[in-house]
Chain A
Amino acid sequence: MSRHQFFVRGLRDSVPMLVGIGPFGIIFGTLAGVGGLTLWQAVGMSMFVYAGSAQFIVISLMGAGAGAVVILLTTFIVNLRHVLYSATLQPQVQRLPQRWRLLLAFWLTDETFAIVQRHYLVHGRTPLAHWYWLGVASSLYACWVSSSLVGVLFGQTFPDMAKWGLEFAMLATFIGIVVPLLRNQPQIAAALVAGAVALLTWSWPYKLGLMAAAFSGIAAGVFLEKRQAARLDDMTPNEVRP
């Protein structure tokens, strides 16, 4: 496959995500406009920050009159997962030049991560796979920025749109990403524990509960995986052991 073909395949594979990102961008734009941001501030946030769930939370914090420190700390906590995405995809960008790594890092969202990671799992690392990644990422970015703009413009005309519940698009998208990952016991345990802890800690300030839930889920997954591996070890005959 050529660069062009990889790029086009990336664009094509991004289409299902657009169905979720579009409505979510629209509700972000609507709420940002209602919440006191100017059109360019709302679109600028989507262009420069490019992190849907963090932007969504920050808009509600701004509406509640939160200070700059709280807003920046919350951004940090909510987006900390991107360090882990960065670490997961790091082997794939090892041989890419700096400018590629900068660009792909800027565009590393949940949705991009989910599509690109699946591509690498299925096809392995191929020399031109970053063109696939570029296709996915540029399509999702264009959709996010333009739907935010549409949201601000529509929100001015139909203020009721803020109450439609378009933010459900984010939940549906994340469900679509997570459920196919639940193929074994450790993954299922990670989801159950993370969900339970998230419910127990939802009232913690600055979204700290999100981090607590994430790390509990990860710990549960690693623990079960280790236990399964230990059990397999026990079943191997003694004489095989070194």
Chain B
Amino acid sequence: MTYWWLILGMAAITFLMRYSLFAWPNLRFPPVVRQGLHYVPTAVLTAIVVPGMLLPDGAHWQLSLDNAYLLAGIVSIGIAAISRNLLATIGGGLLVFFFLRWAMGQM
């Protein structure tokens, strides 16, 4: 039962943040805020991805060649930079990741 209350609480918090600015469609921002918004996806998603590659378990640094998250992440970045294609990046990245895990006996 407590889990359901938590789920509803998470749902309410998440929805209110997503709806926040849609609720006041005529609200305008100062230029510096509008400028800042251009960097939101880049900054936030990079801040999730980089630790995900270097500390895959969320607690220990893994700066080593048997870290498939790091290696496949670098390959994915390469694929994305060259192809600029989402499907190639996600599909290719996952294939490389599972190949590495399999080759290194981590599956």
Contact = CB atoms under 8 A, between A and B. Distances in A.
Interface of A: 15-17, 19-20, 23, 36-38, 41, 44-45, 48-51, 53-55, 58, 60, 62, 68, 71-72, 75-76, 79-90, 93-95, 101-102, 104-106, 108, 110, 113-114, 117, 164-165, 167-182, 186-187, 190-191, 193-195, 197-199, 202, 209-210, 213-222, 225-226
Given A90-B22, A106-B15, A106-B18, A165 B101 contact: yes
A195 B50 contact: yes
Contacts of A16: 85-87, 90-91
Interface of B: 2-11, 13-15, 17-23, 25-27, 29, 32-33, 35-56, 58, 68-69, 72-73, 76-77, 80-81, 84-87, 89-91, 93-94, 97-98, 101, 106-107
Contacts of A68: 2, 5-6, 9
Given A19-B94, A114-B41, A198 B2 contact: no
A226 B34 CA distance: 13
Contact of B42 (A38, A80, A191): A191
Contacts of A62: 3, 6
B40 A222 contact: no
B25 A178 contact: no
A60 B59 CA distance: 12
Contact of A202 (B51, B73, B85, B101): B51
B-side interface mostly: helix
B42 A181 contact: yes
Which of A58, A87, A89 counts the most B-chain CB atoms under 10 A from its CB?
A87
Contacts of B85: 16
Nearest to B29: A87
Nearest to B56: A165
A218 B36 contact: yes
Given A175-B73, A175-B76, A213-B47, 6 more contacts: A86-B20, A90-B25, A168-B73, A174-B49, A176-B76, A198-B48
A212 to B, nearest CB: 9
Which of A194, A213, A216 counts the most B-chain CB atoms under 10 A from its CB?
A194
B44 to A, nearest CB: 4
A195 B47 CA distance: 5
Given A80-B17, A88-B40, A105-B22, A172 B101 contact: no
B84 A180 contact: yes
A140 to B, nearest CB: 13
Nearest to A188: B42
Which of B23, B41, B72 counts the most A-chain CB atoms under 10 A from its CB?
B41
27 contacts: A16-B91, A17-B90, A19-B90, A51-B10, A55-B10, A82-B14, A85-B18, A86-B19, A86-B21, A88-B37, A90-B22, A90-B25, A93-B22, A105-B15, A114-B41, A164-B98, A165-B106, A170-B48, A172-B89, A181-B42, A195-B49, A198-B50, A199-B50, A202-B58, A218-B43, A221-B38, A222-B32
B42 A190 contact: yes
Contacts of B33: 87
Contacts of B51: 198-199, 202
Contact of A178 (B49, B52, B90): B49
Nearest to A193: B43
